[in-house]
Structure 1
C-alpha cells in the first residue's frame, strides 16, 4: 500500500489503482471541518427526520429528498438550488443540513453560512473580507441558513456583500441551499435583485411553510 491506495487486478485481468477507504474517510472529514458545520448538525439526515408532521412539512421533505436525488443532474443548470422558507421550527434547517451532510459524504465541498453568526464573523475580521466573500462565492455548494434573521431589515453592508455572493453564484450556476423565516416576496421586498435571483435558482425546489402546529420545538421534539 502506498500514497493512500493499492494496486489490484480487475475482473478482466488489468491492474487498477484502488483508493484506500481510510483515505476516502479522511477526505470526508476534512470537508466537514472546512464546511463550518458543527458536530451537532453533522448527524442530521433524512432518516432521522420526524415524518409525523403536517402535510406542508412532508412537502418540504419530498422537495429536499427529490433535490438531493437530482443534484448531479441539475448541478450545472440555472435551477440548481433549493429554498425552504417560512415557519420557525418546521424542520427547514434539518432538511437542508441533511442535503449538505450527504453531499459532503459524496466528497462535494459545502460551506455553511448561518446568517447572524456568519456576518458577525465577517465583521470581526474586516481585513479578510475579500477572502471570506470569495470563499462564499466560489465554494461548490453554499448553504445560507436563516437568511435575514435578526434585525427588522439587514444593513447596507450585509446587502452589498450578499448581492456579491448571490450574483456570482447565479452567473456561474453554483448551487445554494437557502432557509429563511421570510417568504420569497418578503425577501424581494428587502432587495429585489437578491430575491429575484434566489427565486430563479430555486424555482423548481421552493417550499414555503405556513400554518398551525409547525413548530416542533414547542411540541418537545427539538
Structure 2
C-alpha cells in the first residue's frame, strides 16, 4: 500500500472514530496510534509513527551483531575508579558529542587501549548504544571470531568479499579486542584490507585492544600508522594492573 493510500485509510478511520465517539478496539494491533501502518496524521500531514523509529532501531541492533541485552553498557553505568578510567569515559562522551564535526575528517575514530579489565569493551559498546539509538548504523566486529570465520571461508571468493565488505563499508565499525590471541600473516592481510579501505574513504572506527599503540605499530606499521592517524587526539591508553576492575576489589 502506498503512502497516499495509507494516509487516506488513516483519515477515514479517524473520521469514522470521531463519528462513533468511541475508542477503537486495538487488541489486534501492536501499535494503537498508527494501527501498524507506521503512519499517523498530524495537522493534515502524514508523519511516521514513533513505533517505526523503534522497529528500525531494533533491526539496526540485530544487524550490528551487538545484542539488545548489551544496552546496559552505557556511559552512565561505567563507573570510573582512577584517572585513566575517568579520562577514558570522558573521551568516549566527547567523541560521541562531537561526532558530526569529526565524521568526515581524517581524525574521525577512537581507540580504547591497554590494561585488561579496564572497561574498554564497555566504553566501545556504550558508543555503539548511543549511535544505534540515534539510528546511526554500527557494525560490531569481534576480532578473533571474525578472523576465524573469514579464514575458514577464504577459498569461497564470493563469501570472502561479502565478509570484507560488511566491515569495510559499515557506517561505523567497532573492532573489539583487536589483535587478541596469536596473530598470523593472514590476520594482518585481512585487517589491512579492512583498515586501508576505511582509511582511504575516511570512515570511522571504534577500537578496543589490550595492545598499546606502540604494540599495534610493531604488529604491522602499515595498519598501525593508519589507525594512529585516524584516532589522533582520541587514543586512550590505560596502563597498570590497578586499573583491572576484576581484581581491584580483591586486592583492596
TM over 0.5: yes
**Between Structure 1 and Structure 2, which shows a larger proportion of helix residues?**
2
Native 8 Å contact 2:138 2:173 kept in 1: yes
Structure 1 equivalent of residue 235 of structure 2: 206
Structure 2 equivalent of residue 7 of structure 1: 41
> Does structure 1 residue 123 correspond to structure 2 residue 131?
no
> Does structure 1 residue 163 correspond to structure 2 residue 192?
yes
Q: CA RMSD in A?
A: 1.5
Please list every run of 5 or more consecutive structure 2 residues that lacks an aligned counterpart in the other structure: 1-9, 11-33
Instruction: Please state how far the C-alpha of 1:124 moved relative to its aligned partner.
Output: 3.5
Q: Which runs of 4+ in 1 moved over 4 A?
A: none
The structure number with the bigger radius of gyration is 2
**Total equivalences in the alignment:** 213
Question: Equivalent residue of 2:135, what SS?
Answer: coil
Structure 2 equivalent of residue 12 of structure 1: none
In 2, the alpha carbon distance for the partners of 1:112 and 1:73 equals 23
Question: Residues 101-116 of structure 1: matches in 2 within 5 Å?
Answer: 101-116=129-144
Native 8 Å contact 2:115 2:241 kept in 1: no
Q: What CA deviation, in whole Å up to 9, does each residue of 1:47-83 have, x standing for no partner? A: 11113x1111101011000001011111111111000
Q: Work out which structure has the larger RCO, using CA pairs closer than 8 Å and 6 or more positions apart in sequence.
A: 1
Structure 1 equivalent of residue 173 of structure 2: 142
In 2, the alpha carbon distance for the partners of 1:130 and 1:101 equals 28
Please list every run of 5 or more consecutive structure 1 residues that lacks an aligned counterpart in the other structure: 10-14
Instruction: Please state how far the C-alpha of 1:220 moved relative to its aligned partner.
Output: 5.5
Structure 1 equivalent of residue 55 of structure 2: 26
Against the structure 1 CA distance between its residues 186 and 46, is the aligned structure 2 distance closer, same or farther, given a 3 Å change threshold?
A: same
